[in-house]
A and B are shown apart, each in its own frame.
Chain A
Amino acid sequence: MGKVVITPEIIAEHGITPEEYQTILKILGREPRIVELGIFSVMWSEHCSYKNSKPLLRTFPTEGPHILQGPGENAGIVDFDERLAIVFKMESHNHPSALEPYQGAATGVGGILRDIFTMGARPVALLDLLRFGDPANPRTRRLVSGVIEGIADYGNAVGVPTVGGECYFSPAYDGNPLVNVMCVGVIEKDRITRAVGSGAGNLVVYYGNATGRDGIHGATFASTELTEESEDKRSAVQVGDPFMEKKILEVTLELIESNAVVALQDMGAAGLTCSTAEMAGRGGMGIRVDLDKVPQRAANLSAYEIMLSESQERMLAICEPAKLEQVRGILNKWDLDAHVLGELDASGLMKVYHRGELVAELPADKVSENSPVYEREARRPEYMDSIPDAANANLGPATDLKRELLEFLASPNICSKRWIYEQYDHMVQTQTLTPPGDNAGVLKIDGSRHSLAMAADGNGLYSYLDPFEGGKLAVAEAARNVACSGARPLAVTNCLNFGSPLKPEIFYQLSEAVRGIGAACKALNTPVTGGNVSLYNENPEGAIWPTPIIGIVGRLDRDVKPVKAGFPAAGLDVALIGPPARDLGGSEYVRWRTGKVHGPCPACDLDHERRVIEVLVAAANAGWLASAQDCGVGGLGVAVVESLLLGKPGLGLELDLGYVARGNEALRVEMFAETPGRVLISAAPDHYRQIQELCSKHGLPIALIGQTIQKSDQAAEAAHVGPELHGMQEPLLGNHDAELGIRHAPSGLRVRIGHLRNAYESRVSIFPPEKPVALYEA
């Protein structure tokens, strides 16, 4: 396809604007060849170049004494102990998952794993952040099962435990599901390998899967809105092979271990184009590759197709010629071949040959590092001024809070996500101290005395109400979750999921969210080490809720035992750190009850959040905390239930919310409001007094609200509503006779723990049974 005439139509098809085309003409001093146009098209897509978000991302705080690698590499790196460092990053695979949920999600896992082991780190944990449309929408069910199965089949096979995540449903994600995956790895500091090519004459070595036609133009496709026609672009979705991934993981670590390679880069978005251009561009080098040397699994691939293919599980290494045999030996052991495509030179040019012909000749740095950057127009969206207030929401009288609590617990966004995470291997590598379902996943790290905590959070509803507060809250919540385990939050990665930045209202959301994230990261001393931007999450019906997702890693010092969410024993004081609830604005409860969005967005006090973290970390280090649970989505009411259900079987809890005004309406607000910065803790009475002192030293409100009690003396006569509940996989464990009692004038409420568990584990609202189900007998 050497003689393709470049027409305005072809340029437009490549997603290149007329202005960008003028820039290309200027860079080359001539008309581009078709392969070159394809290269510019993928390298200058939002996915690879961040052209619309770069000016915003530059405002993030990115430095700190413990940050070994900030943004700009495959992943961020943070110092862990004398010998080890933590490598972590989050990536989205939203657009592919919308079209082909199984492969889209599977290859999303594959891509982020490669980002981590390409730097020389062994991946030790995955977290999955999922957003789907209305569960009542039949399309949602197909997406849910496809995405979860795709993640499970890939992550399980590679042998990396999934230790956390989120799954949230809202019509705002109809047509545009979000699949964000975070991967965390551990590396010996002297093994850190970067994707910077150096040394003229060094060889460019390709290994892994052969190249096919799959995924051609995946990166440009991921940077446009989804339409009906997108269905036709299905060939742009790649197919994953976790077995090959596991092999290249082991091979790559072995190559690094034996010092056989100078630099490494995986072929992810934009495939061979991106990996060659970036390796050369970052190192200020030139690169020459011969596409006839690329192993191919489809006949008659053109140069254009080879350069733009996004076939999965492919790696590119730079090695000294003298070490080629060593590289080959390691690859051959794993039944892989080393394909030498070309070499680095000092020319600064990226030169691509195919069938003896020069098909592309471009300045590498111009393509990879000097992409166009746009300052887009931002305009505050009008809807923000007409969001109804939760105080006026039609919630009805709060006559039966017990029924409301149970039904709320069974609702899609509140109920236990055990049905998801049990499909993921969360124990392989035998380091998982705190499994999924808790505030943070915690791993003991073999060879270190410290433990590693991680969490990822983001609330699209908050960001829709107020993107600035939403950005702050995403960081604050993830940090709080990590701190609940007793770990100090260290650094942040993020995934910014938004609509089209070309629309001023969307760009406003993006820039405000970025401003909020930056402010929170600064206040909490958790610099941003990198991340991913996923824009154009739109369909003809509109854009998704702006959804910034924040991933945080933290460290539990020395041999401190991780604190968990569950109450571990009877006789503990139960207390609430933080202010009383303010209002139901932005709460899942109001959204669930009314089906509508109500404000105001919960306001995030960063100084308060910082003090909460200090207190939690200090109390955990002193060994005073028996449990800690963040009051997140669903508020205090859901936090209390989770601490009971995750705790020791047979425990009951008596609460007295004496500080709440009389009447069920006030109690309802206290139970379900999502006022930020509230943490439910338990501690032995002696320790509670010390935590109280600690709080007053830090100027934090704390209220004693109850005690855990053992109710084993009661007969096991509790009604067992389990078997007729759809989706129940096993009989409910533990005693069902214990109760949660909330004393409150005039009536309060009492619920059996067994009923709470049935409701929480039921999933009835997501996968409705054929027969209606009673959550409890009246």
Chain B
Amino acid sequence: MTVPLDSSDMPGPMKHVRKALPHDSAEMHVMGTATYIDDMPEPVGTLHVVPGWAREAVRGRIVSVNLDDVRSAPGVVAVLTAKDVPGINDCSSSFGGDPVLAEDEILFYGQVVFAVVATSRDAARRAAIRAKIEVSPITPILTPEDAIDADTTVLPDYQFRRGSPETGMTAAEEVLEGSMRIGGQEHFYLEGQVAMAQPQESGGMMVYTSTQHPTEVQHTVAKVLGVPDAAVTAEVRRMGGGFGGKESQANQWAALASLAARFTGQACKVRLDRDDDMIMTGKRHDFRVDWKIGYDLDGRIRAVDMEFLARCGYSPDLSLGVNDRTLFHADSSYFYPDASIRSRRLRTDTCSNTAFRGFGGPQGMLAAERMIDAIAIKLEKDPLDIRKLNFYDGERNLTPYGMPVEEFEVMHDLISQLEESSDYWNRRDDVNDFNSANAVLKKGLALTPVKFGISFTLKHLNQAGALVHLYTDGSVHLNHGGTEMGQGLYQKVAQVVAEEFGVTLDKVRITATNTSKVPNTSPTAASSGTDLNAMAAKVAAAEIKGRLIEFLCEQHQCGTDAIRFSDNKVFVADESFPLSEIAKQAHWARIQLSHAGFYATPGITWDRESATGRPFYYFAYGGACAEVTIDTMTGEMTVDRVDILHDVGHSINPAIDLGQIEGGFAQGMGWLTTEELVWDEKGRLRTHAPSTYKIPTAADIPADFNVQLYKGSGNPQSTVYRSKAVGEPPVMLANAVFCAINDAIASLSPGQIPNLDAPATPEAIMKAVQDLRSRRPSS
């Protein structure tokens, strides 16, 4: 494990912050006692809900739905359809278009038409397959090309434009163009979608839900049931993984559980079967990217023209933010003097694609790396030299959307440190030697940067609340709007609160996120969980502490600097008192020992309409160097070594941050190498279980895997203890693996640009190898 970072710029030594402490649930996790929703004791009479769907239909008009055999099946208590929705039949996050239960149309393969409520999940599942649903089929729109031909989108086009890319292209010494496909990704949170709803008196509903966005679940359930938001409480203690797949996609299952609970008056639980989960819920957007780049003979970029064609699925869901973020990251770390970067949000008759760690950013960045690699191959230069040549710097530091890259020196320093620690140039020689000596196996090497914008690009989401109580025994109750999905948010926030109160961590009671404690919360997304919630909790704790200090100053007739909170004690000049005693005294003096803290990220001014202003509070940086070996006879690939250097500012918890970096990289590597979603020609998802959809295993991570935190001067912005967000940026470290594979293929035919699509499965690698070989004589 890593050592705590330098804390020299902080007032006094830190007791909890910047320590590599275990996750708050560590002991419960290893003992199997951490409670997920499906582990909760079920209230007496709990019923089980299973969604039913038209198993043959992809797109079409519903002609008839015969559920008689479902209703008569053993154990069935109720069968619900759209007609049973008392409120609004929609579970979308903002734009509408996501019916909880289908009305007249089937919009995609896997759309829920009815819900069976039965005495056991088994009975409900057996009943659900007895439905007879007749659908008059409509030819589905499946590919980006189909959608372009039909001119069908879920949201309007959007673009960033700077200067005159047309003139720039003409002025450039060389121009390259191409097209690449980037696949989507299934979240495969190990805990599938699950919700349990329990009716409360007077029309209330308590919903236990595995969601990154309890407020949205609350609002959705209220909307669907036709009751005020205040009648519904949503709670989540922890998720067994989220990765964006429980940001908006948890709504439907919570709504179904609540609907069934309302209808039957019993507690009702929905726990999706894994295949249903993979078929019914949205995924990472897949793209076709058409690109054109003009550059000079040194490899310096002159002009860029990129078009991102995203398959959004049947509804808008979160596609606005996702596709905007693709554009925000289409520059990776490179300065584009003239640029046209366009996005089309194509509507296809497939599941509605959604948030997935990186939120569109990874696809934008990968396309940028593809262009850089193309330039390097064409000019027969090393891709790292082309990357560094085009990095943002002191003069060329405005992104295509007008935000300056203030920390360009961090980017330069980090990459140059990694260049050295990974021994890039010597290994480049070794790779070249290996490739000269081997006809079948080829090695590839790549070092790629990460620059990821931190803040929700929807400005209003950049706020958080926390509720902190100090009890008279000196223990602290902590609650905030962020959700725990394994990323260690609860632990980090608890460390911050313990630091603030000067108490040991065992005095801080972490409690489940609950919409009745902290209302109107933002989703735990955009890597912002700690930045927002730890700050709100710090504000709350500081306020209570401030009241105690004021009280003590009066009692002891001293100045505030005579008072110090540490080791569960309060020091007043030379005297010390247990915090519990001070809390009791303050309570007797009628001082409030509870506070709702609030935080809103400063300095964000983005205006989407005019595409001006500052969308991000700051950038998180990183770099990865990957070495791979491919077998040009079979397409097999191994990742031999990966070196990572990543910037988390001053880490609040280096152990948790390293875990996020390693895990994010592994997940990104899966996305770009083994995880392939396959829809058949009819539009049915064929990869709906881990038997056909390959997620990285322990055997797949690099044999030689070196991960370090960048030792810098901390976040220049005034974030919580000068830390930086870490949730999403590491996913894009895996771009190095994809670029290294591309490098290995390119070694077969110098000067030729491989047509490698993502994911670089063995099949995709073989295809690119054969394509390159077939081109060789004509070049």
Query: Is chain B a partner of chain A in the same complex?
Result: no
